[in-house]
Chains A and B, each alone.
Chain A
């Protein structure tokens, strides 16, 4: 009996101590679910840079990489929600349904889904970046810098995000140079350096002297460097991979948003919302402009960047026609977000058909 009393006293002390420590250390814990490896130097890599910013702001973070967009995602999400994470970022479109499903089971955990549109429960927010604004800048530069008037574009998959980018790029390029032709090659991969390099080489051999890409690896800018043509970096600043070829890069900058949202959870001010940030909010960043660009082009680009940021200029300002000549956006109007989100037709001037 005596022993029992001591034992229970000690164990309750231990329990009390543990509870106290747990209560004191009740920091906000954030988790990130990635589609690819953090070593892709592209999409997932940039999300992980954002996660590191959260860590630097003093929060604990966890990440799971290479999570397939299937029932596995649900399992991972449930596991993360169960293990004391307060906010979970799911960073690929295909996590949309798993995120909403698991969110229903864990009303006290906040979920943030990237690039999706479903917010079925009060604890689900969505966020995405207006990368097409960056492509307006690239198109302006490409249309000015090309001498052959042939611009190559390596695309990944025919989804609205990519079509929107091609359209935004082409509209901007046509505006500064009505004679340009955008040749599009679909690589059907987000990253496969060998294939991307081959696609870029094919475009260069066919006379393209500026190459744009909507795939993730640095193989394309390196190929451009070798061939002596211009290119643009994707997702991160790729200048060091091809100092002569890269004129600028469009960077994905998730850090500020992530820090903001995790802080909101800590302060108890987190609320559901749908965020679609562009250059103005700093989610889309234009890297340094290369000095090979003439000074007047550089200042023009700077001004365009400022106007896109302030909303004075919109990437999709009418009149815009589709390939068949049908009016898509009337003169003086701009495309609304609904149209942008579901954009699956090429604008006039883009060659070829969208793969079905």
Chain B
């Protein structure tokens, strides 16, 4: 194998590109969960984002409308979830699962007319700077705007939760909705907002898949990435920076196992295929084993419905 420094740069860039949808959806779900709501509908919201983005791009021809439309579609479908769980006080787990099944079904229905249509090229930034710096060039430059946003998001999320007043309110609502309510915080409003934000990020993650990563629409194209995003949130113990690490490990191992196959490393392929799942869980469990910190960052009222009049 040629150990060329630019080759390493190329691999790292592919790993980062594959981590983008996971980071986006996980960071969105993290905010939702931090407010005490468990939304298992990430996969469904993601696939709705994927078809909406692709359909809008095909119909309107505008990438901007498509990207924002996909986020809006994520918001709309998560509104259903918010209404059911917050206003009608349904069970979070059951409603979330229903949302996923609904999303997959309705995306297939809308998508019937969009199968077999090629996507459009999505513009990339700083393409010309790619070859200026060895190793870092391909890593830093020549990506879409969504890519840069995804890598800024964990830091923004971390800052938001730790340093801003609204972040504090979100955490308060997730830890003890009763106390927050007694302080005059509108728990239901905060949770609505957090659910819709999670929907927007999942929608964006889906649009990234159908418009930028593999520009096409086919049914079920999210391929379970929503579930991996959900798992990342839990195994990162609700820490956005660890989500970034987890997504990179997961994406990294998926890609590196293909490279190992191509080089001809004699390890059973089935084992290599399972590797990303196993290692990501092990690493995240190991780096988050401080039980005091886990208790601090776990939203204590996660998944529990809140009735204002209790």
B281 at the A interface (CB under 8 A): no
A159 at the B interface (CB under 8 A): no
Q: Across the interface, do B216 and A194 meet the contact criterion of CB distance under 8 Å?
A: no
B244: chain A residues at CB < 8 Å are none
Q: Across the interface, do A188 and B270 meet the contact criterion of CB distance under 8 Å?
A: yes
- Assembled-state Cα–Cα distance A201/B7 (Å): 12
Q: Across the interface, do A41 and B269 meet the contact criterion of CB distance under 8 Å?
A: no
- Assembled-state Cα–Cα distance A193/B224 (Å): 12
B223 at the A interface (CB under 8 A): yes
Q: Across the interface, do A186 and B266 meet the contact criterion of CB distance under 8 Å?
A: no
Q: Shortest Cβ distance from A257 into chain B, in angstroms? A: 22
- Assembled-state Cα–Cα distance A195/B18 (Å): 9
User: Known interface pairs A188-B273, A193-B209. Does A41 touch B262 (Cβ–Cβ under 8 Å)?
Assistant: no
Against A, the Cβ 8 Å flags (1 = close, 0 = not) of B236-266 are: 0000000000000000001100110111101
- Assembled-state Cα–Cα distance A192/B209 (Å): 11
User: Known interface pairs A188-B269, A202-B259, A355-B270. Does A194 touch B209 (Cβ–Cβ under 8 Å)?
Assistant: yes
- Assembled-state Cα–Cα distance A122/B149 (Å): 62
Against B, the Cβ 8 Å flags (1 = close, 0 = not) of A186-212 are: 111101111111110111011110000
Q: Across the interface, do A152 and B220 meet the contact criterion of CB distance under 8 Å?
A: no
A242: chain B residues at CB < 8 Å are 118
- Assembled-state Cα–Cα distance A205/B269 (Å): 19
Which stretch, B59-67, B80-88, B108-116, B171-179, touches the partner chain A? Answer: B108-116
Q: Across the interface, do B116 and A236 meet the contact criterion of CB distance under 8 Å?
A: yes
B91 at the A interface (CB under 8 A): no
- Assembled-state Cα–Cα distance A197/B209 (Å): 11
Chain A residue nearest in CB terms to B1 = A206
Say what secondary structure dominates the interface of chain A: mixed
User: Known interface pairs A194-B213, A205-B259, A355-B269. Does A241 touch B108 (Cβ–Cβ under 8 Å)?
Assistant: no
Q: Shortest Cβ distance from B207 into chain A, in angstroms? A: 14
Identify A193's interface contact among B10, B116, B216, B268, CB under 8 A: B216
Q: Shortest Cβ distance from B20 into chain A, in angstroms? A: 10
Q: Shortest Cβ distance from A60 into chain B, in angstroms? A: 20
Q: Across the interface, do B116 and A45 meet the contact criterion of CB distance under 8 Å?
A: yes
Chain A residue nearest in CB terms to B266 = A353
Which stretch, A106-114, A217-225, A272-280, touches the partner chain B? Answer: A217-225
Which has the most chain A C-beta neighbours within 10 Å: B18, B209, B214? Answer: B214
A199: chain B residues at CB < 8 Å are 258
Q: Across the interface, do A201 and B268 meet the contact criterion of CB distance under 8 Å?
A: no
A138 at the B interface (CB under 8 A): no
- Assembled-state Cα–Cα distance A208/B225 (Å): 28
Number of B residues with CB within 8 Å of any CB on chain A: 40
Q: Across the interface, do A194 and B262 meet the contact criterion of CB distance under 8 Å?
A: no
Chain A residue nearest in CB terms to B6 = A205
Q: Shortest Cβ distance from B202 into chain A, in angstroms? A: 16
Say what secondary structure dominates the interface of chain B: helix
Which has the most chain A C-beta neighbours within 10 Å: B221, B261, B266? Answer: B261
Q: Across the interface, do A185 and B118 meet the contact criterion of CB distance under 8 Å?
A: no
Q: Shortest Cβ distance from B110 into chain A, in angstroms? A: 10
Identify A202's interface contact among B2, B209, B255, CB under 8 A: B255
A256 at the B interface (CB under 8 A): no
Chain B residue nearest in CB terms to A352 = B264
A288 at the B interface (CB under 8 A): no
Identify A222's interface contact among B2, B10, B216, B273, CB under 8 A: B216
Q: Across the interface, do B218 and A39 meet the contact criterion of CB distance under 8 Å?
A: yes
A356 at the B interface (CB under 8 A): yes
B144 at the A interface (CB under 8 A): no
- Assembled-state Cα–Cα distance A299/B14 (Å): 38
- Assembled-state Cα–Cα distance A246/B193 (Å): 46
**B-side interface residues toward A, CB under 8 Å?**
1-2, 7, 10-11, 14, 18, 21, 108, 111-112, 115-116, 118-119, 209, 213-221, 223, 225, 254-255, 258-259, 261-264, 266, 268-270, 273
**A/B interface sample: 9 pairs, CB < 8 A:** A38-B112, A39-B218, A42-B218, A189-B223, A195-B254, A197-B213, A202-B262, A206-B263, A356-B268
Extra inter-chain contacts (18) besides given A39-B108, A217-B218, CB under 8 Å: A39-B115, A39-B218, A40-B219, A41-B216, A45-B116, A184-B261, A186-B261, A188-B269, A192-B221, A194-B214, A195-B254, A198-B18, A198-B258, A205-B259, A206-B1, A218-B214, A236-B116, A352-B261
